[in-house]
Structure 1
Amino acid sequence: MVTEEIRNEYDAVVIGGGAAGLSGALMLARSRRSVLVIDAGAPRNAPADGIHGLLGREGMPPGELLERGRGEVRGYGGHVVSGEVTTVGREGDGFVVTLADGASVRARRLLLTTGLVDELPDIPGLRERWGRDLVHCPYCHGWEIRDEAIGVLATGPMSVHQAMLFRQLSSDVTFFGTPATAEQAEELAARGIEVVEATVAGVEIADDRIVGVRLADGTVVPRSALTVGSRMTVRAKFLAGLGLQPIEHPSGMGDYLPADATGRTEVPGVWAAGNLTDLSAQVGAAAAAGAMAGAQINADLVAQETREAVAARRER
């Protein structure tokens, strides 16, 4: 943690330094707000070779995008430091943010952008291939595995939908699992997607890439790429002191922190953006949500300062 950069108090503290957090910080810094970004340094998309679907930055390595973003925030006077937030609590009309190294800082407003982690099925070989030839999003990684022999590992209610999306990218798709309904089975058959109703025991890897799916009986089904729906769990344990609790997402894909369209949470003075509130948000959507939240925080501060100025004027 670079403690010498930290003031005692900021207009806004942003917890999480991904696309959402840096975009929110950029909006605030450009509005001449004092802003601190605290980043734990564990971006969800770190295993990916490049970002996709982001206009003007197609294929850029995730780390390069974040490095540019940090430089832009600092260019307008914002502070960006590395550290892990352990607790956040209310103090007066603001907040106190405490870090793992014992440092603390006050904030008038908070922007939460800590994102999520992907929990994968306990199948040998999956974790080491994550973000490479084991993917989850056709829009993030689909083009890179187009026309390959793709296997879809059924893990939840969205697996059949996932198979349909990857079928758009390849004519050779195999679904590993049991469709939940007869209608789903008919849909898979109609699209030419083979169904293998057997337990998956592991992933076969050779020459640093996936070559097949190993079933419980020892059979290996050749596949060169796999897709799986992870359970998405938000990083929000440090919010217990504020009374903010993630809830189960309606899709069944994981949990999330509810917020309105501007990012405002149920706790006054606290906004959230990115995958913390929107499990399906790609980099562009997360950045847009962060920018919106940053602008809303600035507007909220302006409204407070105007009320205070009016009250002071009336007392004169």
Structure 2
Amino acid sequence: MTEQLRDGYDVVVVGGGAAGLNGALMLARARRSVVVIDAGDPRNAPAEGVHGLLGHDGIPPARLLERGRAEVRRYGGQIVPGRVARVIREQAGAPAAHEQPVPTPAREEDGFVVALADGRTVRARRLLVAAGVVDELPRVPGLRERWGRDVLHCPYCHGWEVRDRAVGVLASGPMTVHQALLFRQWSADVTVFSHTMPAPAGAEAEQLAARGIRVVDGEVAALEIVADRLAGVRLADGTLVSREVLVVAPRMTARAAFLAPLGLRPVEHPMGVGEHLAADPTGRTDVPGVWVAGNVTELAAQVGNAAAAGAVAATQINADLVAEETRQAVAAHRDPFSAVTEAGVSALVTGQRSHGL
């Protein structure tokens, strides 16, 4: 049975992957009202297993998320399927979610209105964005269909599983040589395909040669598939180079279009591998009340890193809410009849009621 959205929460988490679920778990354990809006399209869905995650090595991605959802629900958190279309700042006299927002100075106390693609809306005092990224692959026929199977990107996620196989590295960006040198740790048979990029030169060419990594010039036209397995890489001139695995560095773009009304947009990552949402080490963005965690901000984060970042952001969000509630309590203590105090106490009581306190 689909869980129903309440009108408002302490925190709305956008994204039901490792970062979002671990953040929600920490917040629910802190007795915060929290809901995860889960679009249901995790980045690692094509992979057979999650690797390098202590205590869970090899667990299928779907099973890990299933366990995470159960843990969040155990503490009163909600998981609601849906896709966030837009987030606006909620202020006194704020427009409805379908109207254009009026630019005004932002305050953390204002909160947010989160509009879903199906027309539902929900209010949040704070926002944790863990919506992940979109992997943009080179336009080579067959590449997308093999993604996460024998077309890979991360040696730490997949290197052991493809050890000693014939590995190809498709040049697609600034990380090509780095990837080839890394995969050389798992296989002595590594070939770089320059594809549409200039062949490595200078120090990079020397490094590849020293490690026994050959470079094949020419554009890659297609993948050769035999019995549902990668058998080789076919060049535009018809040459077939036998390979069992192909490594690609995708360009990664944060899923963050819904944050544009808040003035929060992706920027180029310092490594030049895509666009991310910039934040400080705790996940706090420049927009008051908005935190980010996981691949949406750290493009190369593995599952363990993403989960840890979600936990860190959650503790900071809880501390921020505690500070706000303390300011309201102090105001009430000093002047129990002020309008500001009445509004703050009303919000606090509503939040406590939602937890049965």
Give the TM-score normalised by structure 1.
0.98
Aligned to 2:31: 32
Report deviation, 1:290: 0.2
Identity %: 69
Give the Cα separation in 1 of the matches to 2:9 and 2:270. 36
Q: Select the residue among 133, 143, 146 that pairs with 2:150.
A: 133
Q: Deviations over 1:83-125 (max 9, x none)?
A: 0110000012110000011110000000000000111100011
Aligned to 2:355: none
Q: Select the residue among 99, 105, 109 that pairs with 2:122.
A: 105
1:166 aligns with 2:183: yes
Q: Pick the structure with greater CA Rg.
A: 2
Q: Select the residue among 177, 184, 191 that pairs with 2:211.
A: 191
Give the Cα separation in 2 of the matches to 1:40 and 1:216. 38
Give the Cα separation in 2 of the matches to 1:32 and 1:271. 19
Which residue type is aligned with residue 118 of structure 1? D
Report deviation, 1:181: 2.8
Q: Greater CA deviation, 275-284 or 177-186?
A: 177-186
Aligned to 2:354: none
Alignment of 1:1-316 (within 5 A): 2=2, 5-92=4-91, 93-177=110-194, 178-316=198-336
Report deviation, 1:251: 1.2
Report deviation, 1:192: 0.3
Give the unaligned 5+ runs of structure 1: none
C-alpha contact (below 8 Å) 1:160/1:179 kept by paired residues: no
Tell me the secondary structure at the aligned position of residue 210 of structure 1.
strand
Give the Cα separation in 2 of the matches to 1:303 and 1:70. 28
Report deviation, 1:5: 1.9
Q: Deviations over 1:7-66 (max 9, x none)?
A: 100000000000000000000000000001000001000000000000000000000000
Q: Deviations over 1:137-177 (max 9, x none)?
A: 00011111000000000111110000000001000001111
C-alpha contact (below 8 Å) 1:176/1:197 kept by paired residues: yes
Give the unaligned 5+ runs of structure 2: 92-109, 337-357
Give the Cα separation in 1 of the matches to 2:298 and 2:328. 35
Report deviation, 1:199: 1.1
Which residue type is aligned with residue 194 of structure 1? R
Give the Cα separation in 2 of the matches to 1:182 and 1:260. 36
Give the Cα separation in 2 of the matches to 1:181 and 1:27. 49
Give the Cα separation in 2 of the matches to 1:71 and 1:61. 16
Give the Cα separation in 1 of the matches to 2:200 and 2:272. 14
Over aligned residue pairs, what C-alpha RMSD do you find?
A: 1.0
The list of structure 1 runs, each at least 4 consecutive aligned residues, that deviate by more than 4 angstroms after superposition, is none
Report deviation, 1:312: 0.5
Give the Cα separation in 1 of the matches to 2:296 and 2:41. 14
Give the Cα separation in 2 of the matches to 1:9 and 1:248. 33
C-alpha contact (below 8 Å) 1:15/1:39 kept by paired residues: yes
Which residue type is aligned with residue 174 of structure 1? T
Which residue type is aligned with residue 326 of structure 2? T
Give the Cα separation in 1 of the matches to 2:199 and 2:327. 58
Report deviation, 1:182: 1.4
Report deviation, 1:208: 0.4
